[in-house]
Amino acid sequence: MTYGKRITWLEERKKSKTVCTNKKNRIVLFDMDGTLTPPRQSFDTNLLQPLRELSQHTQIGIVTGSDVEYVNQQMEYVLKKSELVYCLHLLPCNGTKWYPPPRQLDDWYDIKHNADMRETLGEEKYRHLVAILLDLQCHVSALGIPLTGEFIQYRGSMINWCPIGRAAKSKDREQFVLKDEKLSIRKNYLKRLERKLSLNGIQKDIACTLGGDTSFDIYPIGWDKTYALRHFEDYDVWFVGDRCGENGNDKQIYDALYSKGRSYKTTGIEKTKEIIKALVGHFASLESTDG
């Protein structure tokens, strides 16, 4: 981001009437795609006011498999124009990257934590993994799916493997989703991937899940979205996500907070809005009890 652009953004945010001053050790973590935004699309501004109300009671975080570029792109409206940034943690790549909120009006996000997958796995295991993915990409390409570019994206703390390519447009994505529903392409390839990892003796080191609608997230064991919880050990944490079932990329964090009654499954923007409303009510009643 250029300096000039940042100043413009700052001016926009200064127009905001309220600045979040919430200091409570409480945080609500949201998945991004399918929860705060339609998949790979921009933030739904209908959620802005509910999130503002929520921010009066708690800090907020976005924990997503996507890297920070996508967060910047999809959440641009909030980052540019809203005072929400002052209580909004960005946790891309499942929280293996952590950008705490800027503390003052003229601060901006700085990375505080950045985990390294190649270093953790070691060069040999990492190379095996990439070779397996390249091989599987050749096979899946033969199924007549749309093909663009950036099939295997290294994000420092995870690999995102997208058989149609990260450069796919909405039309390509829709075409793939239909085919995937019909032929269970990703579920089959997830099994193939796990089998190949096992044959290479690296299955115990590497976890694989379906990411979003079109891809796979692959990372060291334990580096799923529960990784984000490491940054908030002395916090009460809630989670809202849309892929909480088997093979979904929200499953582990959903399960981790479920026993405390702090996990919510959404089906899209409208449901997210209802969940936020319920949380606001819950926090408000807690605070009135606390006096």
Residues classed as catalytic:
31, 33
- The two structure tokens encoding residue 47: 């959620």
* Interacting span for Mg ion (CB under 5 A) from 30-38, 46-54, 165-173, 227-235: 30-38
Residue among 37 and 82 whose Cβ is closer to Mg ion: 37
Residues in 226-285 that interact with Mg ion by CB under 5 A: 242-243
Strand order in the sheet with 206-211: 152-154, 159-161, 215-220, 206-211
Question: Of these, 33, 83, 180, 224, which contacts Mg ion (CB under 5 A)?
Answer: 33
Query: How far apart (Å, rounded) are the C-alpha atoms in residues 177 and 215?
Result: 10
Size of the site for Mg ion (CB under 5 A): 5
Q: Where are the alpha helices (DSSP H) in the chain?
A: 3-14, 48-55, 68-74, 76-81, 117-121, 123-141, 170-183, 185-199, 251-258, 269-290
Residue among 27 and 253 whose Cβ is closer to Mg ion: 253
Shortest distance, CB of residue 110 to Mg ion, whole angstroms? Answer: 26
Q: Does 34 bind Mg ion (CB under 5 A)?
A: yes
Query: How far apart (Å, rounded) are the C-alpha atoms in residues 159 and 206?
Result: 11
Q: Does 224 bind Mg ion (CB under 5 A)?
A: no
Q: Does 31 bind Mg ion (CB under 5 A)?
A: yes
Residue among 57 and 243 whose Cβ is closer to Mg ion: 243
Residue among 31 and 224 whose Cβ is closer to Mg ion: 31
- Pick the closest to residue 36 from 27, 28, 46 (CA basis): 46
First to last CA, the chain: 44
For Mg ion, the nearest residue by Cβ is 34
Shortest distance, CB of residue 7 to Mg ion, whole angstroms? Answer: 33
Query: How far apart (Å, rounded) are the C-alpha atoms in residues 14 and 9?
Result: 9
Give residues in contact with Mg ion (CB under 5 A).
31, 33-34, 242-243
